[in-house]
Structure 1
Amino acid sequence: MDRIGRYKIVRELGRGAMGVVYHAIDPNIGRPVAIKTIRLSDVANGEEQKRLRERLFREARSAGMLSHPGIVTIYDVEEQDGLAYIAMEYVDGPTLDQVLSGPGPIAPEGMFSILAQTAAALDYAHQKSIVHRDIKPANIMIAADGMAKIADFGIAKITTSEQFTMTGSIVGTPHYMSPEQVQGQPVDGRSDQFSLAVIAYEMLTGEKPYTGEHLTTVVYKIVAEEPVAPHRINPSLTGAIENVIRKGLSKKPDQRYHTCGEFVDALEKACAATRNWKSMPRGGSLNEPTVSDAAPRSVVTLPPAHRPRRSGDATTTAERAVKRKSGFVPFLLAILMAAALLMLIGWQAMPWLNPRRQPQSGPAGEDKKAEQALPQTPANPADAKPSAMPPASAEAANPPPAAPSPETKPAEHNRRPTPNPPNRNRRKSPPPKQCVKNP
């Protein structure tokens, strides 16, 4: 086959359960594309074939509306001689399945780069009400620049739903399907989150959480059994990491994280809080992908890690910047506290720094005036009565003491009394000049 529609076939990339994938060129603009074919002729019932064709075109067009760097873009969808084909973006790089099949474990930086990019692309599609339904390592492409891209958006919903009706059994393996999906129940974005958690489990332990010799056994484990605890396979994993994985693999969708991004962020934080954790290489591939590469598998070198530009990443970058500046904050607080302490000490030391400055009024001044007035206060209450006449010259020269001691009281009895003391009180007031006489 040289051409499919207007596209010129370059080579065959791989074969799957429902068709073949080709590397082709769009001659109109010279753009390389990947052509995925789906054999509608395999459906014997004409009405069923027509219904499948309509659904395929409708879902492919819906997925073609998605424009995200982490999603393989769908360019065109057509049909030729009973062969439906979809032209999509060509990614020159390995799949995640090839990377995990290498001899060594995936590096932590590369692991979280792929998980974060895949989660960001899935959350974007879920906001558009589009669910992938077939998230697995074979459908995650790694470009040469490290970008992770999800393939088969739109057509995965058709192929997985028809796997049961075409042959009566599941084509491929359901290792990455959610419990609600294998039971034929309605699914939403949390179904893709379950599949992403299965991939994370495999990256950390090297094993799939649900395995079995028969497909029915795998389906039963997905629906009814809990997976083996990750630390039993990889002892370097702690309970915090297991809790995140267990929540992402919850049987009920409402018990999982709200978004795929929340799941990856929680897992990255749990791993960051665990010392000396490590991932393990794949112990043996039980996955039979829908699309397998024709070229022989070899050691694949993972491109440099690339982190998606998400709002959560901006927050993480800000938190890291705060941590880098955390040493400066205590130093600045210490300087401010020292300056405040010096100001307090200086304010309290002001009275001692200016000793000559005396208060003009206050309790101390009033006490001083009271002390000056004490000697003029007579000790005898009888002498406290106001007198209009000045005292005699002898008494004026020697006024009685303010507070005579007990020993002086006998001397007062021997003192010669003043003649006619009552007449002094009855005499008329002296002239003003005598009143102002200073004794």
Structure 2
Amino acid sequence: MTADRLIAGRYRLADPIGSGAMGVVWRGTDVRLRRTVAVKQLLLASTLSNSQALEAKLRAMREGRIAARLHHPNAITVFDVAEEDGQPWLVMEYMDAPSLAAKLSGKRTLPPIEVARIGAQAAAALAVAHAAGIMHRDVKPANLLVADDGTVKITDFGISRAVGDVTVTATGFLAGTPAYLAPEVARGEDPEPASDVFALGSTLYAAVEGSPPFGEGDNPLAVLHAVARGEVAAPRNAGPLGPVLMRLLAGTVEARLTMQEAKEALEAVAAGRVPELSSVPVVTAILPAPGGDAGATAVLGTSATGASGNATDATEFVPISSPTPPPPTRPGGTLAGLGGGSNPRGPDKQLLGVAAAVVVALLVVIALIVTVQNGGDDSPTAAPPTGGESTNAPVAPSSGAGGGSIMEQPSQTAPGAPPAASASPSASTPPPSSTTAPPPTTPA
């Protein structure tokens, strides 16, 4: 490819200014609008079949449409997707600035505060992209342009995909640079916005430590294996940026900051403030409890963030009971006993009142049961009649004072004393009430 070539009858190429895995970027001129632009030429491997080449072309056209959705001061704008000789070309905003990779060449590093400023600007653009359903999928130092005045712009959304959109991929194609991939992507899982968070963390880690968390060996497969394990050593030169980096580089998606949270945390470090990092969610999945019965379940949790802000990948199994019905709710959706509502006593006093009422009710029931049992043991008239009489016959009154039934008057026998013998009615004993049936007699 030579300079001074006119693409799509409108964009004249000048000189190459960068290259990547998928193409070469040229500085060019939009002859219609008379402005300088960057034109990305897609390079197709000669080993691709016709169908694979068509896939790559369709993919590039999609990439241009996706990237054109994003408009942010810290992102390179895509102006056009042109086609020349059956090949796609992306026409983008031109920025005369070196990449972060160029600044870090030769294992050079940058101060943590400067790295935080760079990361905050990149995170701002990526947060807006994520909100629009766009993932970058290849965040790395080579795709961050850093101007002399400190302005940062992220470029090359060329292998990004819209979340939920139909994807067009080449068989076996691995999107992203291995050294900056997130562990879940290295394990073959689908990327998600949290994968961009990890890649940004790896980029900033390289800026303060001189190399990414898993190194940049000559063997990509070895790097992929290291990435898949997700074991990141704490940075030694990051200073106040260290806790933020470790949250960006957490091994699990749930433990990482969102891109918006990353932006705010990096801005705080750049301003000399202590960042407020959100807590790490404890529950990440519900799994069968190891060694338990079929109905037992367990909660798989991640350990909470320590004082240093470093999140670990340690997990624990906490047995929990079988599913229980949801708690009652008050009108308006407030959980009973959890605050809210119009109860002036507050949820704690209400719970105490309900508990006290339950205890009193239980005591009353117990007292009645004990009373019935004691009365039945102490009064011989409580025994069931013999001789085939009906068990529904009325019970004779007890010999206790008042002449009440055993349901009304418990026995007064002292503990340990033998039960009193039944005495025959005497003149001093009032006759039974006319409403009380005489005691049953035993047939001769």
**TM-score between the two structures when normalised by the length of structure 2:** 0.54
**Structure 1 residues 172 and 117, CA, compared in 2 at 3 Å: closer, same or farther?**
closer
1:32-111 mapped onto 2 (5 Å cutoff)? 32-40=36-44, 42=46, 44-101=48-105, 105-111=109-115
Partner Cα distance (1:242, 1:71) in 2 = 26
Shift of 1:162: 8.9
Q: Which residue of structure 2 aligns with residue 254 of structure 1?
A: 254
Shift of 1:252: 1.8
Which amino acid in 2 is paired with 1:219? L
Q: How large is the RMSD of aligned CA atoms in angstroms?
A: 2.9
Instruction: Judge conservation of contact 2:137–2:175 (CA < 8 Å) in 1.
Output: no
Q: Which residue of structure 1 aligns with residue 179 of structure 2?
A: 175
Which amino acid in 2 is paired with 1:184? G
Instruction: Judge conservation of contact 1:39–1:84 (CA < 8 Å) in 2.
Output: no
Instruction: Judge conservation of contact 1:17–1:171 (CA < 8 Å) in 2.
Output: no
**Structure 1 residues 249 and 108, CA, compared in 2 at 3 Å: closer, same or farther?**
closer
Partner Cα distance (2:48, 2:109) in 1 = 45
**1:142 to 2:167 alignment:** no
Partner Cα distance (2:21, 2:241) in 1 = 36
Partner Cα distance (1:174, 1:162) in 2 = 21
Q: Which residue of 222, 226, 236 corresponds with 2:231?
A: 226
Shift of 1:99: 1.5
Partner Cα distance (1:73, 1:189) in 2 = 20
Shift of 1:49: 2.4
Partner Cα distance (2:151, 2:266) in 1 = 20
Instruction: Judge conservation of contact 2:186–2:225 (CA < 8 Å) in 1.
Output: no
**1:209 to 2:208 alignment:** no
What secondary structure does 2:179 align onto? coil
Instruction: Judge conservation of contact 1:41–1:82 (CA < 8 Å) in 2.
Output: no
Partner deviation per Cα, 1:49-88 (whole Å, 9 max, x = no partner): 2233223212311211211111100011122224321110
Percent of aligned pairs with the same amino acid? 36
Partner Cα distance (1:73, 1:270) in 2 = 28
Q: Which residue of structure 2 aligns with residue 279 of structure 1?
A: none
What secondary structure does 1:255 align onto? coil
Q: Which residue of structure 2 aligns with residue 116 of structure 1?
A: 120
Q: Which residue of structure 1 aligns with residue 193 of structure 2?
A: 189
Instruction: Judge conservation of contact 2:116–2:269 (CA < 8 Å) in 1.
Output: no
Partner deviation per Cα, 1:98-134 (whole Å, 9 max, x = no partner): 1222786424443222111100000000000000000
Which amino acid in 1 is paired with 2:115? M
**Structure 1 residues 213 and 32, CA, compared in 2 at 3 Å: closer, same or farther?**
closer
Instruction: Judge conservation of contact 1:116–1:261 (CA < 8 Å) in 2.
Output: no
What secondary structure does 1:254 align onto? coil
Partner Cα distance (2:45, 2:268) in 1 = 49
Q: Between Structure 1 and Structure 2, how many residues are aligned?
A: 264
Instruction: Judge conservation of contact 2:96–2:147 (CA < 8 Å) in 1.
Output: yes
Partner Cα distance (2:41, 2:160) in 1 = 13
The structure where helix makes up a greater share of residues is: 1
Which amino acid in 2 is paired with 1:119? A
What secondary structure does 2:133 align onto? coil
Shift of 1:220: 1.2
1:219-368 mapped onto 2 (5 Å cutoff)? 219-231=224-236, 234=237, 237=239, 241-257=241-257, 259-266=258-265, 269=268, 272=272
Shift of 1:24: 0.4
Partner Cα distance (2:200, 2:176) in 1 = 18
**1:3 to 2:6 alignment:** yes
**Structure 1 residues 267 and 112, CA, compared in 2 at 3 Å: closer, same or farther?**
closer
Q: Which residue of structure 1 aligns with residue 332 of structure 2?
A: none
**Structure 1 residues 46 and 102, CA, compared in 2 at 3 Å: closer, same or farther?**
closer
Q: Which residue of structure 2 aligns with residue 23 of structure 1?
A: 27
Partner Cα distance (2:158, 2:176) in 1 = 18
Which amino acid in 1 is paired with 2:6? R
1:158-173 mapped onto 2 (5 Å cutoff)? 165=171, 173=177
Shift of 1:255: 1.5
Shift of 1:8: 1.0
Partner Cα distance (1:172, 1:70) in 2 = 21
Partner Cα distance (1:225, 1:152) in 2 = 26
Rg larger for: 1
Shift of 1:11: 1.2
Partner Cα distance (1:43, 1:136) in 2 = 27
Shift of 1:241: 4.9
Q: Which residue of structure 1 aligns with residue 402 of structure 2?
A: none
Q: List alignment gaps of at least 5 residues for structure 1.
A: 275-439
The structure where strand makes up a greater share of residues is: 2
Q: List alignment gaps of at least 5 residues for structure 2.
A: 275-444
Please, which moves more after superposition, 190-199 or 145-154? 145-154
Shift of 1:198: 0.7
Please, which moves more after superposition, 31-40 or 142-151? 142-151
**Structure 1 residues 162 and 142, CA, compared in 2 at 3 Å: closer, same or farther?**
farther
Shift of 1:163: 9.2
Q: Which residue of structure 2 aligns with residue 277 of structure 1?
A: none
What secondary structure does 2:134 align onto? coil
Instruction: Judge conservation of contact 2:107–2:211 (CA < 8 Å) in 1.
Output: no
Partner Cα distance (1:27, 1:135) in 2 = 31
Partner deviation per Cα, 1:391-426 (whole Å, 9 max, x = no partner): xxxxxxxxxxxxxxxxxxxxxxxxxxxxxxxxxxxx
Partner deviation per Cα, 1:300-328 (whole Å, 9 max, x = no partner): xxxxxxxxxxxxxxxxxxxxxxxxxxxxx
**TM-score between the two structures when normalised by the length of structure 1:** 0.54
**With CA pairs under 8 Å and 6+ residues apart, which has the higher RCO, 1 or 2?**
1
